[in-house]
Structure 1
């Protein structure tokens, strides 16, 4: 029997980094989605150890081993909502090559990507859905804040969406909490 509410944690661009802050915020999620640049199988293992259903796409920094364990693009449904996730997607008005045709062909309710390290959630009337980029949860890149997104799907509707700030991006791993 399907759950009435599905709690989801969405992150991207960990670049091989996982810490107790990420574990804390994703614990209790029914599903964990990673929009690429995972960076190591250890991060994939850490997600799986939380007991949630894990959906992952590979990114441009992910090696052949990670690519053999994950997909370039995923399409799925949660309570009738259609999702599409890939790593390099661009943004509304400036989608990466091939993304416009992907969106037109699949018409997802929600399109998810990573790569830019720029947190953005925006309605996009060009495909009639919601664009989501969770920013970056890792330590590599130019972003100042490490972020992820948590939300729920209830009765086929997105609810309780909020951004989680994991702290400042630093060259060293943050103290374990």
Structure 2
């Protein structure tokens, strides 16, 4: 019979933050792989106590982290790994390594290159900009592995889902901006028309003439003229506000 599957949590760039949801996932794993930037010795020791910890030194791990290697080769359940904090520090000669792990960018990334997995689990601690918090779990059994991506923010699933959602949010923001710009332009045009009709009303120009000769929307012109009569002491902004209220 084969050995029991090994669950390896893959994290990076915690920067002194260990979120409760991350802790709950770590409790379900047999080993922890950390690609650097613990940022605090306290967090390093907390992770080291629970399960076996495979770790490298990040660019923000100073002083206390002198014992951590910059590059680490290791094997778990027959699967061979190499890890460094920055992808640029991964050596060119990889031999029979099956999984390459790195961090630093806080951006989740997974690639298959020549049958080898290149994995950046992203950041599961410190939030950088709009990048989603993430980590991964690798399940190893009989010398083979499967990868599970874990997005720690509501609404994210696979990497493709996350990318699609980010693009949708970008489009949504753009569409809202465009809608706001269009509305602002329309409001300016109506305000200009309101001010014009108010002057004509105050000059005793007839409603019929105003409706016929001010703009391409006779119905709107009539409504504004009528409000000028109801709100004789109001200015153009106050008349526009009343018009918007639909009364």
**Contact 2:8/2:32 (<8 A) preserved:** yes
Please give the residue correspondences for 1:58-69 in structure 2 after superposition, counting only pairs within 5 Å.
Answer: 58-66=57-65, 68-69=66-67
Greater share of helix residues, 1 or 2?
2
TM-score, normalising length: structure 1: 0.79
CA RMSD of the aligned region, Å?
Answer: 1.9
**Contact 1:15/1:140 (<8 A) preserved:** no
Counterpart of 1:55?
54
> Which consecutive unaligned segments of at least 5 residues does structure 2 have?
155-247
Alpha-carbon separation, structure 2, partners of 1:27 and 1:132: 22
Counterpart of 1:174?
none
Shift in alpha-carbon separation, 1:40–1:129, aligned structure 2, 3 A: same
Alpha-carbon separation, structure 2, partners of 1:108 and 1:32: 18
Task: Work out which of the residue numbers 158, 164, 170 in structure 1 matches 2:150.
Answer: 164
Greater share of strand residues, 1 or 2?
1
**Contact 2:19/2:124 (<8 A) preserved:** no
Shift in alpha-carbon separation, 1:166–1:42, aligned structure 2, 3 A: farther
Counterpart of 2:129?
142
Counterpart of 2:40?
40
Alpha-carbon separation, structure 1, partners of 2:19 and 2:72: 26
**Contact 1:16/1:38 (<8 A) preserved:** yes
**Cα deviations by residue, 1:106-158 (Å, 9 ceiling, x for unpaired):** 44111100011110111012xx4110100011224335311110121001111
Alpha-carbon separation, structure 2, partners of 1:107 and 1:64: 33
Alpha-carbon separation, structure 1, partners of 2:98 and 2:130: 27
Counterpart of 1:93?
none
**TM-fit CA distance, 1:71:** 1.2
TM-score, normalising length: structure 2: 0.58
Segments of 4+ moved more than 4 angstroms: none
Identify which of structures 1 and 2 has the higher relative contact order when contacts are C-alpha pairs closer than 8 Å and 6+ apart: 1
Please give the residue correspondences for 1:86-165 in structure 2 after superposition, counting only pairs within 5 Å.
Answer: 86-89=84-87, 96=88, 99=90, 102-125=91-114, 128-159=115-146, 161-165=147-151
Counterpart of 2:11?
11
Structure with bigger gyration radius: 2
Shift in alpha-carbon separation, 1:143–1:113, aligned structure 2, 3 A: farther
Q: How many residues matched?
A: 153
> Which consecutive unaligned segments of at least 5 residues does structure 1 have?
90-95, 169-177
